[in-house]
Structure 1
Amino acid sequence: MPQKSWSDLTPTQRRLVVVAGVAETAMTVAALVNLARRPAKAVRGPKAAWAAACFVQPVGPVAYFLVGRR
């Protein structure tokens, strides 16, 4: 199946792609800000590892909020 370009998408599909991108960005920023403000004792595992995991989309930020915080 050939890859679609932006111009091949319908307006609804374009909106969904933009909304998903904004949601992923917001979740990543929220996770990183929360991680930076949280003391190391309140985080399960090394903070640096969680910071790196936050860039694995979309599971990293979700995993941090579900598992990474004490």
Structure 2
Amino acid sequence: MAKRTWSDLSTTQKRAVVVGGTLEAAMTLAALRDLASRRSDEVRGPKAAWMLSFVVQPLGPIAYFAAGRR
């Protein structure tokens, strides 16, 4: 299977990629801001570990909002 380039995508596919990327970036930014504003006792586990988990897109931010906050 040949690798597809941006120009090979339809307009709908391009739009979906941009919207998905924007949502991931917004969710990650919201998670980072929330983590930075909370005290350590308001977070389940070490804050540094949660920051590293945000690299795993989109599971890290979703996991933080679902289970990381007290």
Structure 1 residue ranges without an equivalent (≥5): none
Match of 1:52 in 2: 52
Residue matched to 1:36: 36
**Separation in structure 1 between the aligned mates of residue 51 and residue 39 of structure 2, nearest angstrom:** 14
- Report the Cα distance in structure 2 between the residues aligned to 1:60 and 1:2, rounded to whole angstroms: 31
Q: For 2:60 and 2:3, how far apart are their aligned partners in 1? A: 26
For 2:32 and 2:54, locate their aligned partners in 1 and report how far apart those are by CA, in whole Å: 7
CA displacement at 1:62 relative to structure 2: 0.2
Count of aligned pairs between the two proteins: 70
Unaligned runs of 5+ in 2: none
Structure 1-normalised TM-score?
Answer: 0.97
| Structure 1 residue runs of 4 or more that deviate by more than 3 Å after TM superposition | none
When normalised by structure 2's length, the TM-score is 0.97
Alpha-carbon distance between aligned partners in 1 of 2:28 and 2:3, rounded to the nearest angstrom = 27
Partner Cα distance (2:2, 2:68) in 1: 39
How far apart in 1 are the matches of 2:29 and 2:55? Answer: 10
Q: Kindly, what percent of the aligned residue pairs are identical?
A: 59
**Shift of residue 55, structure 1, vs aligned partner:** 1.4
Structure 2 letter corresponding to 1:31: A
Aligned twin of 2:27: 27
